[in-house]
Amino acid sequence: MKRSTIGFFAVVGILVLAILIVGIMMVSKQKKETGQVAEVTVPVVVMEVKTGEIEDVIDLTGYVDPKDTVNVVSKIPGKFTREVVEKGTFVAKDQVIAYVTREDVGVQFEPFPVKSPIAGMVAKFLFDPGAMVGPQFPIAVVVDIGSVVIKTSVVEKDFAKVKIGQLARVFTDAYPDRFFEGRVSKLAPTLDAASHTAETEITIPNRGHTLRPGMFVHLELVVDKHQNVVVVPKTVVSKRMGKDMIFVFNPGSNVVEMRESKLGFYDLKNYEVLEGVKAGELVVAEDQAILQHGVRASIAKKIGAEPGPKQETAVKPEVK
C-alpha cells in the first residue's frame, strides 16, 4: 500500500476519533447541565390556609333610580312666570317651586303658586319662564331619593337562589372606598323569553342623599352563607387541563405539590374549598403558572388576606 494512502486513512481516523471525543464531551456537559436545572429551587409566595365564613354571591350591575318620580303641573293654564327654587334643591311637600300667571284680555290675575306634591329634589324644570303652560304640560320633575332603587336582571341559572329580603352590597366608582347595603324588594315572577332573565329591584336607604339617580353600580347579591369552612383567595386557584388546582408547599421537603380541588361557594374574592387542602397548610398565592408538581421551592414571602372597602356607616339595611 502506498504511503499516501496510509497517510490518508490515518488522517481520517484521527478526525473520526476527534469527533467522537467532542461528542462525548458535549453529551457529558449536557447531562451535567440537565442535572443542575433539576436542582434549581423556585422562590414562592405562600399563605396559610384558614377557616372562616363565606357567602354565595351573585355579581350584578345596574343604575340608580329614585324611589318616586313626580311630574309637577300647574292647575291653571297661563304663562310660566318664574322659578322659586333652583334645580337640585330639596323641597318639602306642598312647597311652592314656581308661579304661573293666567292671562285674559282686560283682566289681571295674581300669580298662581305651583306646589310640589311630594318631598324630594327638584330634578329639572321642563320649561323656561315665559312659556305658556297648562294642566296637560308638566312644569318640573321632583324625585324622592330618601331611598333609591337599583333595577337589574338575574339570569336563569341564579333565579331559584334569589329571594325577597336578601342582602345586597352596592359599589359605585363615585365612592370607591365604601359600599352601601340594600335588600331585594321586587323579583319578577316570570323570565323574559328572549334574554332568559328576571327583572329584580334592590331598595337602598339613602338618608344622606349620597347615591344619585343615574349612577352606575356593581352589586354583590348574597344568596347563602357557610361558616367554619376552608376558604382561600381566588388567586390561589389555577386552571390546569380544565381542573381547579391548588399548589401546596411542604415545608418539610421543600417541595410543591399540585392538588386537584373541589370548590364550593364563591364570593367574587374567595373560594370555599370542599376537597384538596386543609386548614393550616401553606399554599402558593402567586405565579402558579411557572410551577409544576414536585418542583423544589423555598419561601420568599408569607402573606395574609387583604382588607376590603368600608361600609357606608350612615346606611343600614331595612327589611319591610
Domain count for the chain? 3
Residue 187 CA: distances (Å) to CA of 35, 137, 153, 218: 64, 34, 9, 18
pLDDT recorded at residue 108: 85
Residue range of the domain that includes 105? 69-144
Decide if 204 is inside a domain: yes
Decide if 88 is inside a domain: yes
CATH number of the structural domain spanning residue 160: 2.40.30.170
pLDDT recorded at residue 206: 93
Give the mean model confidence (pLDDT) for residues 225-235. 92
Same domain, 222 and 151: yes
Q: Which amino acid belongs to residue 66?
A: P
Cα separation, 215 vs 203, in Å, equals 14
Cα separation, 54 vs 56, in Å, equals 7
CATH number of the structural domain spanning residue 136: 2.40.50.100
> pLDDT confidence of 317, banded at 50, 70, 90?
very low
Same domain, 208 and 271: no
> pLDDT confidence of 301, banded at 50, 70, 90?
confident
pLDDT recorded at residue 106: 77
Same domain, 232 and 288: yes
pLDDT recorded at residue 35: 47
Mean pLDDT, the chain, whole residue set: 85
Same domain, 214 and 242: no
Contact 148, 207 (CB under 8 A): no
Same domain, 191 and 165: yes
pLDDT tens digits, one per residue of 36-89: 444 678 888 889 999 999 999 999 999 999 999 999 999 999 999 999 999 999
CATH number of the structural domain spanning residue 295: 2.40.420.20
Which of 226, 254, 284 represents a domain boundary (last residue)? 226
Same domain, 273 and 295: yes
Contact 113, 96 (CB under 8 A): yes
For residue 192, pLDDT beyond 70 = yes
Decide if 314 is inside a domain: no
pLDDT recorded at residue 316: 42
pLDDT recorded at residue 75: 92
Cα separation, 165 vs 320, in Å, equals 8
pLDDT tens digits, one per residue of 80-117: 999 999 999 999 999 999 999 998 887 888 999 999 99
Total residues belonging to the chain: 320
Same domain, 231 and 253: yes
Same domain, 182 and 131: no
Cell reading at 47: 399563605
Higher pLDDT, 293 or 313: 293
**How many CA atoms does the CB half-sphere of 81 hold within 13 Å?**
19
Residue 207: strand, helix, or coil: coil
pLDDT recorded at residue 94: 95
This prediction has a pTM of 0.68
Decide if 26 is inside a domain: no
> pLDDT confidence of 121, banded at 50, 70, 90?
very high
> pLDDT confidence of 320, banded at 50, 70, 90?
very low
Closest CA to 203 of 175, 168, 240, 161: 168
- What contacts 24+ positions apart, CB below 8 Å, involve 303-309? 303/45, 303/46, 303/47, 304/47, 304/48, 305/47, 305/233, 308/269, 309/171, 309/176, 309/177, 309/178, 309/179
Decide if 4 is inside a domain: no
> pLDDT confidence of 318, banded at 50, 70, 90?
very low
**280: left (phi > 0), else alpha (psi -120 to 50), else beta?**
left
Cα separation, 260 vs 251, in Å, equals 20
Same domain, 74 and 135: yes
Residue 38: strand, helix, or coil: helix
Cα dihedral 72/75/79/84 (nearest 10): -50
pLDDT recorded at residue 268: 85
> pLDDT confidence of 5, banded at 50, 70, 90?
low
Give the mean model confidence (pLDDT) for residues 214-236. 93
Give the mean model confidence (pLDDT) for residues 198-226. 94
- Residue identified by cell 300669580 is 111
For residue 275, pLDDT beyond 60 = yes
Residue 270 CA: distances (Å) to CA of 40, 110, 146, 172, 221: 32, 67, 34, 21, 15
Which of 226, 243, 268 represents a domain boundary (last residue)? 226
Which of 112, 144, 176 represents a domain boundary (last residue)? 144
Decide if 13 is inside a domain: no
Same domain, 156 and 193: yes
Closest CA to 139 of 68, 70, 212: 70
Bridge partners (DSSP) of residue 247 are 258
Cα separation, 131 vs 147, in Å, equals 33
